[in-house]
Amino acid sequence: MNDGVEVFALPQRLTQALANASSAELEELAGRWTTRLRSEDGDDRTDDDLLAVLQGAARLAASAVNTGGGLYSWSF
């Protein structure tokens, strides 16, 4: 049954990189992400604060690494 829910497991390498990223690295990545969205679409595709999204993902990744778990994303 396709109920429209998608679940993605983030690779361990990405989870580890997010967990270990410094504040400066997250800021730089958010800037690159914003620049790429603007260049592809001509404007912002999202109203989200991309730095806050990355900081939240990094906190979750650190928790996953510390507990030996994985990091997952789902949408519906």
pLDDT per position as a tens digit, 8-24? 999 999 999 999 999 99
Q: Which tens digit of pLDDT belongs to each residue from 5-61?
A: 898 999 999 999 999 999 999 999 999 988 888 787 666 556 678 899 999 999 999
Residue 39: φ, ψ to 5°: -70, -30
Query: What Rg, from alpha-carbon coordinates, does the chain have?
Result: 14
Q: What's the pTM value of the predicted model, to 2 decimals?
A: 0.79
pLDDT at position 4 = 75
Q: How confident is the model at residue 44, as a pLDDT?
A: 56
The strand pairing partners of 7, in sequence order, are 74
According to the model, what pLDDT value does residue 2 have?
65
